[in-house]
Structures are given as C-alpha cells and as structure tokens.
Amino acid sequence: MSTKRSVRVSIVGDEYSIRTERSAEFTRAVAEYVDRTMRSVLESGTVIEPQKAAILAAMKITDELFHAREEGEELAGEMRNLAAEIRRLLPPAKRGEPV
C-alpha cells in the first residue's frame, strides 16, 4: 500500500496542496511544467482569464501527451518489426523452434 503525502506547489501565483503517492520532487516538476505552460498562454496576450488559460494549457499539454503516445506506439511497432526480422535470420534452435 502506498502512502500519500501532501506537497505544496504554486501555479500562476496560487498555492495548492497536492495529495500524491509520487515524490515531492516529481510533483513539483509537474506543477512547474503546468505553471510554465499557463504562463506561456497568458503571455501570448490572447487570454487574460486564468480559467481560460488553464483550459488552453490543459489542451496544449494533452496534445503533447497524445503526440508522445503516438510516437511511442510507432517506435514499439518498429521494434516488433525489427525483432521479427532478426528472428528470421537466426538458426531454428535460436528461434525457440523445434529442430
């Protein structure tokens, strides 16, 4: 069973107490990323309301997540294909097949 701890973070000047099983360093790093993304949205000058900036920041971060997942899936597929090619080059005994 994991122990949850409370970590204080600041996002766009507002303080939050986050209950998490992750380390304080990890939680702060996540909060800093959210803070930077929100500040970037706010500094663009197109949004001044913090709530709208939070939604746009969430969309940007989610876009990054989906893109990273897509790249990970592509890489995993390439690795499966490469493993299949290598397996075909191995002698039958090394492939785990009966001789």
49-71 pLDDT, tens digit each:
889 999 999 999 999 999 999 99
Judge whether 54 lies within some domain. yes
Judge whether 56 lies within some domain. yes
99 or 13: which leads in pLDDT: 13
85 or 98: which leads in pLDDT: 85
* pTM (two decimals): 0.76
Confidence of residue 97 (pLDDT cuts 50, 70, 90): low
Q: Which long-range contacts (CB under 8 A, 24 or more apart) does 49-54 make?
A: 50/12, 53/12
Judge whether 95 lies within some domain. no
**Residue 53: which of 9, 45, 33 has the closest Cα?**
45
The three-class DSSP label of residue 49 is coil
Confidence of residue 94 (pLDDT cuts 50, 70, 90): confident
Cβ atoms 15, 31 nearer than 8 A: no
**Residue 51: which of 61, 36, 38, 33 has the closest Cα?**
38
Judge whether 83 lies within some domain. yes
Total structural domains in the chain? 1
Judge whether 97 lies within some domain. no
Please give the residue range of the domain that contains residue 52. 5-89
